[in-house]
Structure 1
Amino acid sequence: MLRIKLISITYTSQGDLVVKTQLQDGTPVSGVVLMAVNQKTNESYTAPASDDKGWTKLTLPTGRYQLKVIFHPDSSEPQWAPTVTVSANQSLTTTVDFGKTKGEMMTTVTDQTTGDPLVGVQLHLQSIKDATYQKTGTTDNHGQVNWTSLPTGDYRVSVTKMIPHYSVVGAND
């Protein structure tokens, strides 16, 4: 008697997905963790965190995937995450661009001796990275100026007009 044993072999073709994570100006964003979700099977695959040059790589079964950002270490937000098709024995390179989020900063001006808020002091805010980005403000009843919608970065604040009977003590920025 002859016996035949049937063996089922499933071959899954794979391809590489290489992703560059960067700011809109091309600066690499490291430490970003991406997930690729297969649109047909809903299976998800997590990539290692992007390296210091913004690169990460996944080897995936062939298919169409939606990329999702599941962790980013700085104050940036993904502008878009592409849908990609991974083909057998091919390497696909794509980019996920991040835009810097807006932030806010509160500046308070007080009397050095009493700690009382100074109302009506005019201030000037300027980005250290981009000198053309500037704002002005005047302290309110609490001696404060709330700067809103600021691009992430470092700023210099200086007094442009002090109220009568006061002078600026120390560096004026």
Structure 2
Amino acid sequence: MGQNHYLITSLPALGELGSDPPMTGAEFLGHLADSPGAAKPVETLLLADDLLQRDAVLAGEMDQASPAVLTAAQLADEEPLPGYLVDDERVQPRRVAGDAVWAAYFRRAAEVADSRRCRFLSDWVGFEVALRNALAEHRAKALELEAHEYLVEPELSAD
């Protein structure tokens, strides 16, 4: 993404801290249409937000979502997720069904980071997996559960 100086300067300014962003994730992806090297890593990062929104919609915590990569029907579980999020045979069955989607997502994100040589995305995956797994271990210990049943792709962790 180092060659996208013009792209960066063409984006709208951010507002005050806590204000709504000046564009949606989908609109941001539209700005990247002519920058394929940047589009895939950004799409991969925005997919994580879509999956968080999906979890919130399915839990009844959110009525209206604004996905950037997935469709509203996919967030509501009315349409299937993309195959790479559900058909990854490397992902073991999980105690919590949603963890399998996250495991497939993090594998996909790591693959995109490697194929695009995007160090930021690679570092982010390592950090995010390490943080999520540390929280899962802490919760499991507090609840006297087996932590390994709740870890997601620990080999991707930035420990």
Question: If the length of structure 2 is used for normalisation, what is the TM-score?
Answer: 0.20
**Between Structure 1 and Structure 2, which shows a larger proportion of helix residues?**
2
Structure with the bigger percentage of strand: 1
**TM-score, normalised with respect to structure 1:** 0.19
Higher alpha-carbon Rg: 1
